Amino acid sequence: MSNRRVVVGQSEWRLPDGEITGILEAIESGMQNNSVVQLALLDTAGRPVTVYLNCRVTQTVVIDLQGGARPGEISGGTGQDGGDDSGGGDSDGTSG
């Protein structure tokens, strides 16, 4: 299963392998024409779903073809120093 994904607001879906070009073309067409597009995607568990994307009201659609972690996500359980990244400090690296 692909880690490539479509993100709209707080919702995200995975792109099924072999269907990426058609889905990207449908999204681009919908955004250019202010229309609703029907997309055959996968939910985060990998199950097939149909998503209706209303491009008339959607301002931004993120297409992540690399499948990496979002900026606010932790992609693994350890930091570069091998320590635990799970807490103890503020987002700026301080502890208070």
Domain count of the chain? Answer: 1
Rounded to whole angstroms, the Cα distance separating 42 from 2 reads 10
Q: Is residue 51 part of a domain?
A: yes
In a domain, residue 14? The reply is yes
Does residue 75 lie in a domain region? no
| Contact by Cβ (8 Å): 20, 9 | no
Q: Check residue 75 and give its pLDDT.
A: 53
Residue 18 resides in a domain: yes
Tell me: pLDDT of 14 over 50.
yes
Looking at the predicted structure, is the pLDDT value of residue 10 above 60?
A: yes
Please check whether residue 84 lies inside any domain of the structure.
Answer: no
* CA separation, residue 33 to residues 5, 27, 54, 70 (Å): 22, 10, 11, 29
Q: Is residue 47 part of a domain?
A: yes
Model confidence band, residue 39 (pLDDT cutoffs 50, 70, 90): very high
User: Which domain, by its residues, includes 22?
Assistant: 5-64
Inside any domain, residue 22: yes
| Domain assignment of residue 82, yes or no | no
pTM of the model: 0.66
Beta bridge partners of 38: 52
